[in-house]
Structure 1
């Protein structure tokens, strides 16, 4: 699809999305056969975890025209997921775009590319994940597309996917698996909590092979 926009699927249960904010990406990945997950992206904010619904953007490397267009479509709880082609030579997002997204209720921003104003963003709790920081600004010529499947750090994200991110990285998955995945993740968390308790008590004697 060229300079177009597709429509995402039906709304996802907000309570389920919110619950994933307290689940680590490592545990989520473990329960998705350790397959999905973006590589090379890291947080550029004060460290708050993030969970939301993907509003996806494809951009030309070094160009953020379609990011600006996507800002007009943000709904509360959306995560702006930008495929910048992994290009680090020009920043696609900075303080102003982050402030607009936050003011419009976005849950965060994920950029497979560079950001700038990192000194300001690093002091904020508004989640921003990217590949690098670079002071050089973007062009605004296009082309691009909104609400189409995108590749972020080697992970495919579809419009409407649930996106979760923390200090370890970014993972995304279809809403259809969310309920079962959340239950499996909680089970693993409980099992790991019991193992850690046994270690602290000096009772741990088995191999942990998860």
Structure 2
């Protein structure tokens, strides 16, 4: 996929909730995790900066693997020397217990136009991480700004005690983060609910389905909250569906909007 196609893909993904993409995954694939076309990071990976509701991180994975725990040099190395606009740093810290990123790293990531940082380990300076919106351009913040994007940071925990800076680590190889394998070049999408990972071609298939799901949900909410106060029962076949399932008959939920 060309760089322009990837950028367009990221722009579309930033307009979609992760939950809508997960629902699209069930439609395209299966409820069985083994057949899912996307991978979901586990609950240990949590957002650590508070952003405007609806802010979605979407970027290209640049992977970082520690060779020594509690040593944040690999993150500093990649962030300062290698990371590029629209990338998400995905970091395997070898179960570190000391902070491997904080306010300075987030500020630099924002300056370079990164989409996010996802760390399977601790961070610090959480009181100073909220101002993470930037005007992105094609040259690490230089030139004409084109769109406002969000720089999110995720981690497993928080500690004020930082690590060391001795081991450069390894980059751009398969890592494990949040219980799943992440490969360099994978697409990483996250919001307040969680993070999903997959190939660009996979997300290209999910986007139109997720867009329809989100449109239906918006209409349902509009109906429920409108002056007419349409009920969920009125806008779906829930009564019929429940009756059929109680009788052991095949049935699917349908929306009547």
Structure 1 gap ranges (5+): 1-8
Larger displacement relative to structure 2 (78-87 or 180-189): 78-87
Q: What corresponds to 1:50 in structure 2?
A: 57
Measured in 1, the distance between the counterparts of 2:94 and 2:192 equals 22
TM-score (norm 2): 0.71
Distance 2:75 2:111 in 1: 15
Structure whose alpha-carbon radius of gyration is higher: 2
Structure 1 residues 174 and 199, CA gap change in structure 2 (3 angstroms): same
Write the distance in 2 (CA, Å) between the matches of 1:146 and 1:10: 23
Matched, 1:65 2:73: yes
Q: Distance in 2 between matches of 1:153 and 1:119?
A: 24
**TM-score, length-normalised on structure 1?**
0.86
Unaligned stretches of 5+ residues in structure 2? 34-38, 134-150, 239-251
Correspondence for 2:119: 111
> Does the Cα contact within 8 Å between 2:89 and 2:116 map onto a contact in 1?
yes
Q: How much does 1:195 deviate?
A: 3.5
Instruction: Give the SS at the match of 1:135.
Output: coil
Structure 1: distance between partners of 2:48 and 2:174: 24
- Equivalenced residue count is 201
Counterpart selection for 2:103 from 95, 100, 121: 95
RMSD over aligned CA atoms reads 2.2
1:74 paired to 2:83: yes
Alignment deviations for residues 28-66 of structure 1 (CA, whole Å, 9 cap, x no partner): 223334642111111111223211111110113211121
